[in-house]
């Protein structure tokens, strides 16, 4: 099968950023599929959010399991470690799971390769100051090169949020006319619905909506 | 902890190539650890081989599970597909599992990152003509760059077999004085022990020993 230049695979976690990327992809590509990685998230509600969002827009969603990181452990998002603002190894936030985004992108690429889809879309962003090196543009450019060579395929990693503030991300989704998708999204580190409003993820999300002057459909 | 320049992590599958890489690493680094990926191999005997070899040399071995590829499926090494010489998608051998080596390297790097070990050793080889694009040197160079950027770490991917023939690999292990390690190794695609001698993997292995003029400890 020739490469389908009208199609894209979106890494959909169920959070605000990947949901915005899904809306972006639906606006640009005739055919969109979602890949969600089940990596042993602390809260299953994230996976449920991704599935609900994919259903709402009527696209195929594949959940790919990845049990590696639960075993590697030692971090706050999959291990038994509390989320904290104290830096972990290398001065990085202790929510940093080394290699996670690189593996997720590779799995999405493997899925896309089997379907002759060259466009990969991910919501990584270097402007939200989370300090994750695997969210930076230089890492994405390097990874795109590795995926192209490693699978002999013309992959492009699209990162529509890379240089946006959280407020600009909110505005983008509004302009795409798909703020409604956020009703099913999930952000809270504590796994609460309605969200706790106090964790770092909730605070960052609320700040973005406040700065954009838009009400969050999740909490409105 | 500062980066341990005297230490290395070897990706040990239990096959001839990774076993040779382990011997190479033991000869160069004061501290060596092995990472074995349990990705749903057709034959559990491969995992048993890796564990036996690590025990024989007295190093720590960690088995990291990776259930993603069994779900991605569609290939001969993990799916329900027969090994065949008929090319699969993109003209690649149907034993090609897209993204596999890239994910394994990333998992080994994540493991090494947690232990401040910058050296990664893998037995990929572009001269054995298997046609896997993720075994080529340009892919390894690109992946090294992605891992360095994605984890903010001074990783080096060592590929001591990259430009060797199978015969030269045998000779290297002999010169390292560790041919004995191959007694526990596993190569046969059919999962047989003693090996079937007829599958592509067995034939390639036998050819290497024949050309090197050395007896294979596994079948001798």
Mutate to test the interface with B, among A1, A93, A102, A154 (most CBs of B within 10 A): A102
Contacts of residue A106 in chain B, CB cutoff 8 Å? Answer: 99, 102-103, 106
- Using a CB–CB cutoff of 8 Å, tell me whether A147 touches chain B: yes
Residues B125 and A104: their CA atoms lie apart, in Å, by 25
Beta strands in A51-183 (DSSP E): 61-65, 119-121, 156-158
Task: Flag whether pLDDT at A76 surpasses 50.
Answer: no
**Percentage of the residues of chain B whose pLDDT score is greater than 70:** 89
Q: Band of the pLDDT at A89, cuts 50, 70, 90?
A: low
Name the residue among A200, A210, A194, A203 with its Cα closest to residue A45: A194
Mean confidence (pLDDT) of chain A: 90
Residues of A in contact with B147 (CB under 8 A): 99, 102
Q: Facing residues of A62 across strands?
A: A35
Region B88-94: what's the mean pLDDT?
58
Residue B18: C-alpha distances to residues B12, B37, B161, B191, B193 (Å): 5, 12, 9, 17, 18
Phi, psi of B156 (to 5 degrees): -125, 130
Q: Pairing between strand B119-121 and B156-158?
A: parallel
Q: Measured between alpha carbons, how far is B172 from B161 in angstroms, rounded to an integer?
A: 9
Q: Parallel, antiparallel, or unpaired for β B7-11 and B119-121? A: parallel
B chain contacts of residue A100, beta-carbon cutoff 8 Å? 110
Rounded CA-CA distance A118/A155 in Å is 4
B150 inside 8 A of chain A by CB: yes
Residue B38, pLDDT score: 96
Task: Encode pLDDT of B110-139 as tens digits.
Answer: 999 999 999 999 999 988 656 789 999 999
Name the residue ranges covered by the structural domains of chain B. Answer: 7-212
Taking the C-alpha atoms of residue B74 and residue B84, their distance in angstroms, rounded to an integer, is: 13
Contact present, A21 and A161 (Cβ < 8 Å): yes
Question: Count of CB atoms within 10 A of residue B154's CB?
Answer: 11
For the stretch B152-185, pLDDT in tens is: 999 999 999 999 999 999 999 999 999 999 999 9
- Tell me whether B67 touches chain A (CB under 8 Å): yes
In this complex, do B89 and A139 lie within 8 Å of one another by their Cβ atoms? no
List, in sequence order, every residue forming a beta bridge with A36; answer none if it has no partner: A63
CA distance B119 to B154: 8
* pLDDT surpasses 50 at A77: no
Residue A1 has pLDDT above 90, yes or no: no
pLDDT of residue A16: 95
Residue-level pLDDT at B160:
98
- Taking the Cβ of residue B149 and every Cβ of chain A, the question of whether any pair is shorter than 8 Å is answered with yes
Secondary structure letter of residue B181 according to DSSP: G
**Nearest residue, CB atoms, B114 vs list A98, A113, A153:** A98
In chain B, alpha helices (H):
16-28, 45-57, 68-72, 100-114, 137-151, 166-175, 200-212
B106 neighbourhood in chain A, CB within 8 Å: 99, 102-103, 106
Query: Could you report the per-residue pLDDT of A133-155, keeping only the tens digit for each?
Result: 999 999 999 999 999 999 999 99
ipTM of the complex: 0.90
For residue B85, is pLDDT > 90? no
pLDDT tops 80 at residue A87: no
| Whether pLDDT at A35 is above 90 | yes
CA distance B216 to chain A (A): 31
Is A81's Cβ below 8 Å from some Cβ in B? no
B112: closest chain A residue by CA = A98
For chain B, give the mean pLDDT: 90
Q: With an 8 Å Cβ cutoff, is B89 touching chain A?
A: yes
Q: How far is CA B95 from CA B38, B83, B106, B201, in A?
A: 17, 7, 21, 11
Which of A36-40, B114-118, B189-193 bottoms out in mean pLDDT, i.e. has the lowest? Answer: B189-193
Average pLDDT over residues A65-88: 63
Q: Are A116 and A151 in contact (CB under 8 A)?
A: no
Selecting from A71, A111, A146 the residue whose C-beta is nearest the C-beta of B102 gives: A146
Q: What is the pTM of this model?
A: 0.91
What pLDDT digit, counting tens, does each position of A99-119 carry?
999 999 999 999 999 999 999
Return the pLDDT at B17.
95
Nearest CA in chain B to A135: B150
Highest CATH level, class, for B7-212: alpha beta
């Amino acid at each position: 099968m020739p490469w389908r230049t009208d199609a894209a695979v979106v890494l959909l976690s169920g959070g605000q950023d990947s949901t915005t990327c899904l809306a972006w992809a639906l606006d640009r590509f005739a055919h969109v599929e979602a890949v969600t990685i089940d990596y042993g998230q602390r809260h299953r509600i994230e996976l449920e959010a991704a599935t609900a969002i994919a259903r709402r827009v009527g696209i195929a969603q594949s959940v790919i399991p990845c049990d590696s990181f639960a075993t590697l452990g030692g971090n706050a998002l999959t291990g038994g470690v509390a989320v904290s603002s104290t830096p972990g190894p290398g001065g990085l936030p202790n929510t940093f799971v080394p290699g996670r985004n690189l593996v997720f992108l590779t799995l999405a690429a493997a899925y896309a390769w089997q379907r002759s889809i060259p466009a990969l879309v991910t919501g990584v962003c270097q402007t939200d100051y989370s300090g994750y090196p695997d969210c930076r543009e230089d890492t994405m450019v390097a990874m795109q090169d590795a995926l192209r060579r490693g699978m002999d395929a013309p992959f492009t990693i699209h990162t529509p949020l890379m240089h946006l503030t959280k407020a600009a991300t909110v505005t983008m989704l509004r302009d795409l006319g798909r703020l409604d998708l956020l009703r099913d999204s999930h952000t809270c580190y504590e796994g609460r619905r309605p969200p706790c409003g106090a964790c770092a993820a909730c605070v960052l999300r609320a700040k973005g909506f406040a700065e954009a002057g838009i009400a969050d459909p999740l909490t409105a």
